[in-house]
Amino acid sequence: MVVRDLFVRELRYRPGGFLLGLVAVTAVAASIVGARGFLAGHDADTVALVVALEERAADRMAQMRDDARVFSKSLGFNILLLPEEQDSGALYAENRSTHFFTRAQVAALGRAKFATLNHLLPMLRHRVRWETYGGDVVLVGVEGEIYIKSPSFQKPIEARIEQGTAHVGDALAQRLALNPGDRFTLLGETFTVGRIQPQSASVDDITLLMNLADVQRLSGYADKVTGILALSCNCAAGDLDPIRQEVGRVLSGVQIVEFAVRARARQRARDAIAESTRAEMEDLKASRTALRAQVGHFATLLVSLVVTGAVVFLAVLTSLGVRERRVEMAMLRALGVGSGAVVGLVLARSALTGVAGGVLGCGVGWMAVRLMAGSAIVVTTGFMLTVVGAALLVALFASAWPAWRAARTDPALILNQE
Amino acid sequence: MIEVCDIAKAYRVRGESLAVLRGTSATIEAGAFAAICGASGCGKSTLLLILGGLLQPDCGEVTVAGEALYALSPERRALTRAQVMGYVFQRFHLIPYLTVEENIRAAAIALSRSDDPARVEELMQHFQIENRRHHLPGELSVGEQQRTALARSLYNRPKVLLADEPTGNLDPENEEIVLKAFDEFTEAGGTVVMVTHHPDAAQRADKRWWIRDGMLVEEQN
Ligand SMILES: Nc1ncnc2c1ncn2[C@@H]1O[C@H](COP(=O)(O)OP(=O)(O)OP(=O)(O)O)[C@@H](O)[C@H]1O
Ligand SMILES: [Mg+2]
């Protein structure tokens, strides 16, 4: 017979106190793991909400992009830089360019870092006769990408148009029965249909949007552009003076034209969406952060209360247990079992309560989190091991005093009196 | 075998000192069967605890089998007790979660020594509790509990047996079993110190000591 046998026999003989302690520790550990899982779930929800909001904003932006595909003369831009001598009548009524920027001028403008302008896009606009169509069509050539301009979204709305590709106006496509991918001949060259532009009841319906180099070649204006499209930043509508001043410092003889409301409105709408999305996001984040803090505080409070309660409960339970067993413990000591071993018996019981309760509680808490929050929420093994370790320490802490008292009482007095 | 030298013991009760033993001495030879008698509360159990090395006297010394008990460290004293003495308590104090058999074996728990099944068997048969071997103390009659406690005290083949009212709660038949065991024990060379206030039981001893006013007085026949 060794002291370990006593431990096992005793546990089997009086499982009640042990089970009560086990239930208490299990409940505490489960509530801690549960709280942790719940908070993790809250964080995950926050991320999901933010992502959803971002996606919704992106969707709205995408709709705006489709809008922007209705390329008017402005291609979604609101400012056009033209050579001063350009004949407005010829350009607007006949789609005929009378004067051009040279390559050097374009390069000079492109290099300049304008504070008032964004996304400078060289454009050549020229009317030609297309025999296959049986009438005049407008060629618009651009190079590079076309951007949506907004504080937070800098996505290209229009990829670079490759050479040999043309986006075809609706009226042309109707008449010639063109579909994306079809090939057609224009002024002796073969092109592929990139996209059919939506109907716009404007000159766009008989426009071919192409790569700048193609239009320069077809129109015979090598290295020339009609003008440069740009987006103005933060300018009050109608007030073009700041732009004029800035551009004037780089290049003289430039007239600056503002497209009417449509482009501007579109830009405003984009900015508004971006702005409202950002505001909404900030609101969401702020409220979620506040809620998280609240829930976190509540969880901390709850867990502290539960842990304190458990410590008291375990201490009382162990005290009662020691009291109930004082005679037999005195007898064991009379039989020569050292007081260290007697303390060991008390502490071993508590340690088992702590570890078993911790493990059980982690299991229960984990299951609860899974059932309520789904499998996405994980409470890490590391955290659960910490909980088990803490449960062990708490259980030992709670029984330290009763165990110490058990070791101190004089067995002789108990054995003579009880 | 047992030498009691100038033992005094007082209990402190709420600040007041209650002198139970007042500097008394006695010698009990090896092989003797001694009875300690006296009125209830005179200090019989107190004396026995001191003899058993369980209760430190205020002064004086007890020598058992050549060992001055209170000169030893508590650990050594506990070990000496387990090796040399058997102790039967007034209220048995069996371990409630151990069976009869295990309670007997528990006597050797402090001696790192393997179990002696033959010895357990012999004792259970001798005290007629072998058919109760798997019972817990709570499932035994008082007599059976007493006999189990007696078997436990004899398990380590002690030289000295200290028994506090071993016949107090027993019917004549059980009383006889116990007293016979003491006779056999002394015949085999052991020393028995039995506390009792049963005149019949006291008569079976070959020496009687009375405690009067905290002093041990040997009865002269
Ligand atoms: N732990 C204690 N604290 C205070 N007083 C005690 C203590 N133990 C015993 N006493 C007192 O010491 C006296 C002797 O007690 P003890 O138990 O030795 O008597 P006893 O002779 O064995 O009596 P009984 O025959 O009734 O068992 C009693 O008056 C008792 O009240
Ligand atoms: Mg007594």
Q: What is the pLDDT of residues B116-144, one digit of tens each?
A: 899 999 999 999 999 999 999 999 999 99
pLDDT of residue A68: 42
- Flag whether residue B106 sits within 8 Å of chain A, measured between CB atoms: yes
Ligand 1, atom 2, lies closest to the CA of B11
The tokens for A342 are 């007697």
The predicted model gives A195-211 an average pLDDT of 87
Give pLDDT tens digits for A256-292: 887 755 555 666 677 777 788 788 888 888 888 888 8
Instruction: Write down the domain spans for chain A.
Output: 3-58+273-417, 79-259
Ligand 1, atom 13, lies closest to the CA of B41
Cβ of residue B43 lying under 6 Å from some atom of ligand 1: yes
pLDDT of residue A264: 56
The chain B residue lying nearest A338, using CA atoms, is B75
Cβ of residue A291 lying under 6 Å from some atom of ligand 1: no
Q: Topology of B30-56+76-218 in CATH?
A: Rossmann fold (3.40.50)
**Contacts for B100-104: CB closer than 8 Å, 24+ residues apart:** B100/B124, B100/B129, B100/B132, B100/B133, B100/B134, B100/B135, B100/B137, B100/B140, B100/B144, B100/B148, B101/B133, B101/B134, B102/A1, B102/A5, B102/A9, B103/B137, B103/B148, B103/B149, B103/B152, B104/B148, B104/B151, B104/B152, B104/B155
**Contact state of B55 with A412 under an 8 Å Cβ cutoff:** yes
Cβ of residue A412 lying under 6 Å from some atom of ligand 1: no
Determine the atom of ligand 1 nearest the C-alpha atom of B47: 18
Q: State the distance from the centre of ligand 1 to the C-alpha of B42, rounded, in angstroms.
A: 7
Ligand 1, atom 14, lies closest to the CA of B43
pLDDT tops 80 at residue B156: yes
- Chain A nearest-CA distance from B115, in A, is 7
Of the pLDDT bands very low, low, confident and very high (cuts 50, 70, 90), residue A377 is low
Cβ of residue B52 lying under 6 Å from some atom of ligand 1: no
Which of B7, B13, B17, B18 to mutate to test ligand 1, by most ligand atoms within 8 A of the CB atom?
B18
Strand A146-147 to strand A79-83: parallel, antiparallel, or no bridges (unpaired)? unpaired
Scan residues 185-204 of B and list those with Cβ closer than 8 Å to A. Answer: none
**Chain B interface mutation, best of A2, A335, A342, highest count of B Cβ atoms under 10 Å:** A335
Give pLDDT tens digits for A320-358: 988 888 899 999 988 888 888 889 999 999 999 999 999
Quote the pTM value: 0.67
Whether the ipTM is more than 0.85: the answer is yes
pLDDT of residue A146: 56
Cβ of residue B214 lying under 6 Å from some atom of ligand 1: no
DSSP A160: P
